[in-house]
């Protein structure tokens, strides 16, 4: 049997000061109290110290930034624009559900979100503030938010951000691999559509390898646009128009703001200050009888 711990109760201290030894009953009582205390501490729930983190989109803002605790946004339950109000001691956000609250209480208990160093830290136990931050129109993660806020922020989720970054990197690599492997004829048409120059800095035509390098660079810089336009019919139309203009098969100098075929046949009028190439691409893809005739003639003339 283990030796009992020494007593630390007030009575035992007093007994010791008086030169008296604690009784067995006092020792057992002190031991029991100590055991109960240790059990209570081991079974207690630690106060959470985790935070939900939000970061400002505009990293140029300096100092403490405050986001008002009143906001008109889409209520996900009703899918209608309703007013939220963040108040201390109130467990609902929607003003319509905040019953029997006086103006004085609102004025004394209004809350706001404070970003320190572009970062907002909300304790995980403050669920109502977290809900407000996630639901308000300033949070770009909210799929139902109304755009236009000058205080845009997002929820910082390292795992999610890492996954998204990896996904974007894979997407960029896929785009670059496509750029490096696509047949030359397709590459040239798409490269022209993406405004890759076929002329070098001293005015000489680029070699195919140089064009492909710049084409792959476009894929790296903007993989989203690269992939979205790769199979677009506008790529072929844009190529045909550029080719017809460069080969003088389309004449835009005969009359101001008008386009003609080299044979003198009228094609269409071009609005003032409109880019000729862009307008002709738009005209060819319009789907009207005139547009279909123009596109058919383009395909026939550029072989």
Give one DSSP letter per residue of 101-165, joined into a string: --HHHHHHHB--EEEBTTEEEEETT-HHHHHHHHHSTTBTT-TTPPS--SS-EEEE-HHHHHHHH
pLDDT at residue 116, as a whole number: 92
Full-model pTM: 0.56
| Angle value at C-alpha 217, between 190 and 181, nearest 5 degrees | 60
Whether the Cβ atoms of residue 134 and residue 126 lie closer than 8 Å to each other: no
pLDDT at residue 24, as a whole number: 61
Low-confidence stretches of the chain (pLDDT beneath 70): 1-49
What is d(CA 32, CA 127) in angstroms, rounded to the nearest whole number?
Answer: 39
pLDDT at residue 6, as a whole number: 46
pLDDT at residue 13, as a whole number: 44
Nearest to 52 by CA among 113, 142, 112: 113
pLDDT at residue 15, as a whole number: 52
């Amino acid at each position: 049997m283990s030796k009992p711990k020494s007593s630390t109760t007030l009575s035992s201290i007093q007994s010791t000061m008086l030169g008296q030894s604690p009784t067995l009953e006092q020792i057992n009582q002190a031991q029991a109290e100590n055991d109960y205390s240790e059990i209570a501490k081991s079974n207690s729930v630690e106060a959470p110290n985790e935070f939900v983190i939000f970061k400002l989109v505009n990293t140029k803002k300096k100092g403490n930034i405050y986001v008002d605790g009143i906001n008109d946004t889409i209520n996900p339950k009703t899918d209608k624009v309703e007013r939220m109000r963040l108040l201390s001691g109130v467990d609902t956000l929607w003003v319509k559900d905040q019953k029997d609250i006086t103006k004085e209480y609102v004025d004394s208990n209004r809350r706001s979100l404070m970003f320190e160093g572009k970062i907002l830290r909300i304790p995980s136990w403050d669920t109502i503030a977290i809900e407000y931050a996630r639901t308000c129109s300033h949070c770009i993660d909210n799929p139902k938010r109304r755009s236009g806020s000058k205080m845009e922020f997002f929820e910082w989720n390292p795992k999610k951000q890492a996954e998204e970054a990896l996904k974007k990197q894979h997407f960029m690599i896929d785009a670059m691999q496509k750029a490096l492997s696509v047949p030359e004829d397709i590459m040239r048409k798409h490269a022209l559509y993406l405004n890759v120059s076929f002329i070098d800095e001293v005015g000489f035509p680029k070699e195919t390898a140089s064009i492909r390098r710049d084409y792959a660079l476009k894929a790296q810089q903007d993989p989203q646009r690269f992939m979205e336009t790769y199979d677009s019919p506008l790529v072929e139309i844009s190529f045909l128009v550029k080719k017809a203009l460069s080969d003088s098969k389309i004449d835009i100098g005969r009359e101001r703001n008008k386009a003609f075929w080299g044979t003198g046949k009228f094609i269409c009028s071009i609005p003032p200050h409109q880019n000729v190439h862009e307008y002709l691409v738009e005209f060819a893809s319009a789907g009207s009888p005139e547009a279909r005739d123009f596109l058919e003639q383009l395909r026939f003339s550029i072989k």
